Amino acid sequence: MATLALQQAAADALEQSFALPTYRIDTKTSAPDKFVNLTTTDWSQVTWKDIGRPFEVTNYSSERRQWEEEHHEAMPVQTQWEFFNRHFHDLFITDNLEARAKARQELFKAMGRLNFAEAVEAFTDLIQLAIWNRIHRVEDAVWDPRGKRALFEGMDVKKPNILFLGAADGYEAMQLLAMYPGGHAVLVDYDDFCRTDRFGKFPESYPFLGQDPSTGHYKTYHRADMDIDFDVADIRDLKYGKEFDIVISVGLIEHFPDEHKPHAIEFHRRFLKPGGYAIVTTPRLQFQSKLYYRIMGELVNFGYRELMTAHQMGLYLYENGFNILRCGVIKAHNGIIAQPR
Ligand SMILES: C[S@@+](CC[C@H](N)C(=O)[O-])C[C@H]1O[C@@H](n2cnc3c(N)ncnc32)[C@H](O)[C@@H]1O
């Protein structure tokens, strides 16, 4: 108990950045601000001819092919996400140091036995674990609390009602609720595993740095402090009215090919109150991301996926009736805050 209390106190302290076996705690408030601001773009002058189209990631997991052979049909999109969420969650909850030590042992054992197939398997595990370690525990590029805080700051909302489309673990809604306390969030995901595990078992002691409204000072919040509902539903079936101050998606619209993008973007407008904000992020088109999806494809690539630039994402939103208030890049994602025109 005493150890738990100490761990909690350490995690809650301000200006901390340290890695636990599964993730990094980061409550630093100081520079560098990880949001690279590209807001000054005149969107009416940007054309697809100038900026090109997104890059499509086309290496898929062998599990998808196996599933399709067994079921004699194409893997439905929802099933693709069910596979993705289980593998992704495994990465989040694996003790990376222990798992890498085990993979190294397996590799040496397999080499000792001259078992080439097992050696390749252990080596692949080791590489995937090392990449995940680098991205999540060292660089903190998946949750990226400093980048997200820098992207989310400055919105004119108090106690916001937040709708998170394709919420998965709900991380960004929790970060928003810490920065704009006293609000409420609805997380929407059609994979029930996200409700039970990805969000349901999100580390309770993880500190979200936000503001204490009574003092204006920094304060850390936890999942249990927040008013959050989880709606296991298809985004396309939602019946909400225009009742949300913020509608957010993180890594959603790049999974819709161009002919479906207007529809996907429309869901960010449909449930917004007048004056509300849409927040959209997508993975960046950069060398590191291409390498990540190449090496981790077996675990995370089950369906259509694009990598794009901030300008490409901005043009999709602008063309579909949004004014871009903020546009830029954080560690692994492009980020935009927009309002319907
Ligand atoms: C790529 S994930 C978003 C990335 C996320 N930040 C994460 O950590 O996994 C997209 C999520 O949207 C959900 N999703 C995709 N299409 C959906 C739909 N039509 N309705 C509801 N949820 C959907 C998936 O189940 C998945 O959990």
pLDDT at 55 over 80: yes
Position 65 pLDDT exceeds 80: yes
- The CB of 235 under 6 Å from ligand 1? The reply is yes
What per-residue confidence (pLDDT) applies to 163? Answer: 98
Give me the percent of the chain exceeding a pLDDT of 90.
Answer: 89
Once rounded to an integer, what is the mean pLDDT over residues 162-186?
A: 98
CA of 147 to the centre of ligand 1 (A): 21
Q: Which atom of ligand 1 is nearest to the CA of 81?
A: 25
How high does pLDDT run on average in the chain?
A: 94
* Residues 262-282 pLDDT 10s: 999 999 999 999 999 999 999
DSSP state of 43: G
CA pair distance 312, 305, nearest whole angstrom: 14
Tell me if 143 CB under 6 Å of ligand 1: no
Q: How far is CA 43 from the centre of its chain?
A: 26
Ligand 1 centroid, distance to 339 Cα (angstroms): 22
CA distances from 288 to 129, 282, 331 (A): 16, 14, 10
Mutate to test the pocket of ligand 1, among 75, 148, 198, 252 (most ligand atoms within 8 A of CB): 252
Q: Residue range 94-109: average pLDDT?
A: 94
Confidence of residue 1 (pLDDT cuts 50, 70, 90): very low
| Beta carbon of 250 within 6 Å of any ligand 1 atom | yes
Q: What is the mean pLDDT of residues 73-80?
A: 98
Cis before 160? omega within 30? no
Res 41: pLDDT: 85
Going by pLDDT thresholds of 50, 70 and 90, the confidence category of residue 58 is very high
Tokens, residue 136: 């999540």
Q: 190-211: buried (b, 16+ CB within 10 Å) or exposed (e) per residue?
A: bbebbbebbbeeebebbbbbbb
Asked if residue 5 has pLDDT above 80, the reply is: no
pLDDT value at 7 more than 70: no
Q: If you write DSSP's letter for every residue of 109-176 in order, what string do you get?
A: HHHHTT-HHHHHHHHHHHHHHHHHIIIIIIS-TTT-HHHHHHHHTT---SS-EEEEET-TT-HHHHHH
For residue 32, name the pLDDT band (cuts at 50, 70, 90). low
pLDDT at position 6 over 80: no
Q: C-alpha angle 45/46/49, rounded to 5°?
A: 125
Instruction: Quote the DSSP letter at residue 320.
Output: T
pLDDT digits (tens, 9 = 90+) for 183-200: 999 999 999 999 999 999
| CA 235 to ligand 1 center in whole angstroms | 10
pLDDT value, residue 51? 95
Residues 6+ positions from 287 with CB-CB distance below 8 Å: none
In this prediction, residues 249-264 reach a mean pLDDT of: 97
To test the pocket of ligand 1, the residue of 191, 206, 254 to mutate (highest count of ligand atoms within 8 Å of its CB) is 191
Q: What average pLDDT does this structure show over 144-152?
A: 94
Q: Is 252 in the pocket of ligand 1 (CB under 6 A)?
A: yes
Confidence of residue 170 (pLDDT cuts 50, 70, 90): very high
Measuring CA to CA, which residue among 136, 137, 103 is closest to residue 120? 103
Query: What pTM value is reported for the model?
Result: 0.94
CB of 190 closer than 6 angstroms to any ligand 1 atom: yes
